[in-house]
Amino acid sequence: MLWIKAFHILFVTSWFAGLFYLPRIFVNLALVPPASTAERDRLLLMARKLLRFMTGLAVPALAFGLWLWLGVGIGRGPGNGWMHAKLTLVLVLLGYHGWCAVLLRRFEAHANRHSHRWYRWFNEVPVLVLLAVVLLVVLKPF
């Protein structure tokens, strides 16, 4: 079980690194001048590869987490409201991940609707959610 926990943490940490960095690429894409196609193409390639990589990390992270929850029983039973809160935040992050994919498709279609400032704020969302998840897991407040 400790190996499963270790791999879950490893995959989740790597997935979060992608969730932190992909919107940063979006900030740079939003700043690219229209005439700079080489820079835009390079950033789009980086974003596509990162999205594919972090999607590949999210799947085993979720599988290990579900196994720990449903198979081993971690966080089940009375007094484990923290797990329900954590799972809700994980669903929020999965939505954020999907939203990143939508934003990337918009950049690829030359249909970006947001400024670089908007993407800077968008980039802070996973940081706040990660803080909440860590506090829930460590403190188990309810």
Q: How far apart are CA 80 and CA 137, in angstroms?
A: 10
How many Cβ atoms sit within 10 Å of the Cβ of residue 56?
Answer: 14
The residue type found at 124 is E
Which long-range contacts (C-beta less than 8 Å, at least 24 apart) are formed by 30-38? Answer: 30/112, 30/114, 30/115, 30/116, 30/118, 30/119, 31/116
- State pTM to two decimals: 0.90
How many Cβ atoms sit within 10 Å of the Cβ of residue 51?
Answer: 19
> Where in the sequence is the domain holding 19, given as residue range(s)?
2-139
Structurally, the chain folds into a number of domains equal to 1
Six token digits for residue 1:
């079980």
Q: What is the pLDDT along the chain (142 residues), one digit of tens a residue?
A: 788 888 888 889 999 999 999 999 999 999 999 899 999 999 999 999 999 999 999 999 888 888 888 888 877 778 788 888 999 999 999 999 999 999 999 999 999 999 999 999 999 999 999 999 999 989 988 8
User: Is there a binding annotation on residue 5?
Assistant: no
User: Is there a binding annotation on residue 86?
Assistant: yes
Q: How far is CA 131 from CA 6, 47, 55, 142, in A?
A: 19, 24, 21, 17
Q: How far apart are CA 110 and CA 130, in angstroms?
A: 31
Q: How far is CA 54 from CA 18, 73, 98, 133, in A?
A: 6, 27, 11, 19
Six token digits for residue 122:
């968008």
